[in-house]
Structure 1
């Protein structure tokens, strides 16, 4: 689209921006990624990284390049991120934190991805060892990790994605995890801002029509900006997935029990895209199955092409 042209109507502008994203990737030799609906390098491996989401751990590094970001409940009513990369790999990502039981179930739909994390509780070691993923920690891929001397532990561990994938070996390429991408569905409710709560944690979302993104606001504050600067971090689509939780066998140093987010079965959901919200239901019979998201008409709800954030929100 020529730079000299300007579209005044905001809804039309959003459509043009999204069309430009798809067109801009055309001809790059890739096919639409099942993770974003945008063309990406064929056969690129999937790397997931567990990232801190506490005030001390922000701003994030590399999260802006993720195809999919899961926001997961952890102990104490707080959250952590599971950032999934394939289309683009940042030079660095972090702060890297420890794995949780929920990660294993979420990633089972991806085949055999690589998972980078700082470590895990002893109770989770057997589950991780038996999971269909390639675990990467400082103990197994030390050269891929570094400590930032300007930060205090535990939020000073960062990883090099290229080195991680080299250490992982044969990580799976993207496959169908259930997302469907397409034109803006009819209906829905106009929404420009939304706050989502996870226990004591809050994630704010603000629709930016110019960028065609839901800007992510950790703690309900200002939009998140990468540690390296640049554009605010945002998602073309946000899936608010209401899940049941149950206590896991893992406790933190203070003795708080880590919840396990149950991402199999079914539940209520909302799809946020293009400044609108659509009621939905999600279903996933087994961990290796895709997550299907349908509207009241039982038809798949189309996501907007681009990065997706999935909020695993406790339903009770």
Structure 2
């Protein structure tokens, strides 16, 4: 009896083992450690590309790229310490009377808490920025210049009209934007900026490390390339400014006669027409030609092959050099 029970138990264990082995799912040849992968990992969201600012060519937020430009004329003498120039996208320089410079500072991608000393409006401002349709903060001006400003359909404000836009006697670009009429449009690009690795020009490119402009009656202006910051640095009044490119446009200067409110004469750059140009950007220079037929047209700067010169993105300094000036680059 005990022997039959033992034999029965042995057979039962064998049958259970055989049955269990027969029910086990067979794995395909070579497969080991098969694991359920679960839900697939989410793919990373691509970083959205930012638009570029129309005047600097630098990436900016969409709301900044589409806003109106603000312009402030600035008067600089050898003993002046101007403020707010570092934030400008483009600065246009005219050689004015008594060793002074008349600057037209244009702000679009960045704001400056203080800009000054604020100068009167002059024909060079009107003819230069008319194509940009900006809002201008200026310190009045002679009757004839004010009439030209109105005829150009430009909008602006003076400290007398809106004191709050000129805190401490200097312009605030944010305050000027607040004073501007609604609906202002972004400016037209004035330079064709280079893409990474693109040369400054299609031909005639040469190494450059120093640029000098010697205009009669004015201290010689020197710009030097700083490789560490990939920028050109120059002295303006008592401060040093740093820009991505310097554009020198050689042109005729005329004597402007002012009658009201007080008679005087002053030099004025004739920014309409065409002439020779020199552009430095990065460690390179290129000879070029400039052409601006009228107020509402952009000043084109083309190389010896007839193609647009393409400076590096960033702030630019545009110098209106009289034909009597000596311009050299080494």
Bin of the TM-score, shorter chain as denominator length: 0.7 to 0.9
The normalised TM-score by structure 1 is 0.78
* Residue 79 of structure 2 is aligned to residue 56 of structure 1: yes
Task: Give the match for residue 232 of structure 2.
Answer: 214
Q: Describe the SS at the equivalent of 2:76.
A: coil
Residue 45 in structure 1 maps to residue 93 in structure 2: no
Q: Partners in 2 of 1:254 and 1:264 — Cα distance?
A: 27
User: C-alpha separation between the residues in 1 aligned to 2:280 and 2:228?
Assistant: 16
Match of 2:42 in 1: none
Asked if residue 129 in structure 1 is aligned to residue 150 in structure 2, the reply is yes
DSSP 3-state at the match of 2:79? helix
Q: Which residue in the other structure is 2:199 paired with?
A: 184
Distance 1:290 1:252 in 2: 31
Q: Does residue 1:108 correspond to 2:115, yes or no?
A: no
For 1:267-282, what aligned pairs fall within 5 Å after superposition?
267-282=275-290
| Worse overlay, 267-276 or 33-42 | 33-42
What whole-Å deviation, never above 9, does each CA across 1:170-192 have from its counterpart, x for those lacking one? Answer: 33312133544342236422221
| Preserved CA contact (<8 Å) 1:270 1:280 | yes
1: CA distance between counterparts of 2:262 and 2:100? 14
Q: Which of these residues, 299, 302, 308, is aligned with residue 316 of structure 2?
A: 308
Aligned CA RMSD, in angstroms, stands at 2.4
Shift in CA distance, 51/72, structure 1 to aligned 2, threshold 3 Å: same
Residues 280 and 27 (structure 1), Cα distance of their counterparts in 2 relative to 1, 3 Å cut:
farther
Compare relative contact order (CA 8 Å, sep 6+) and give the higher one, 1 or 2: 1
Q: Report what 1:161 is aligned to.
A: 173
Residue by residue over 1:154-209, the C-alpha shift from the partner in whole angstroms, topping out at 9 and shown as x without a partner, is xxx31121111111223331213354434223642222122213332232101001
Q: Which has the larger radius of gyration?
A: 2
Q: Structure 1: 5+ residue runs without aligned partners?
A: 1-25, 148-156, 226-232
Could you report, residue by residue, the CA deviation over 1:93-138 in whole angstroms, capped at 9, with x for unpaired residues? 111111111110001121x211111120122121112223212111
Aligned residues: 270
Distance 1:46 1:82 in 2: 12
**In 1, Cα distance between the equivalents of 2:208 and 2:260?**
37
Residue in 1 that maps onto 2:113: 91
* Cα pair distance change 1:27/1:76, threshold 3 Å: farther
Gaps of 5+ in 2: 1-45, 325-330
Partner in structure 1 of residue 223 of structure 2? 205
**2 CA distance for matches of 1:253 and 1:206?**
41
**CA deviation after TM superposition for structure 1 residue 143, in Å:** 1.2
Q: 1:256, CA displacement in angstroms?
A: 4.9
Give the C-alpha shift of residue 278 in structure 1: 0.6
TM-superposed deviation, 1:309? 0.5
Please state whether the residue corresponding to 2:256 is helix, strand or coil: strand
2:246 is aligned, of 215, 238, 252, to: 238
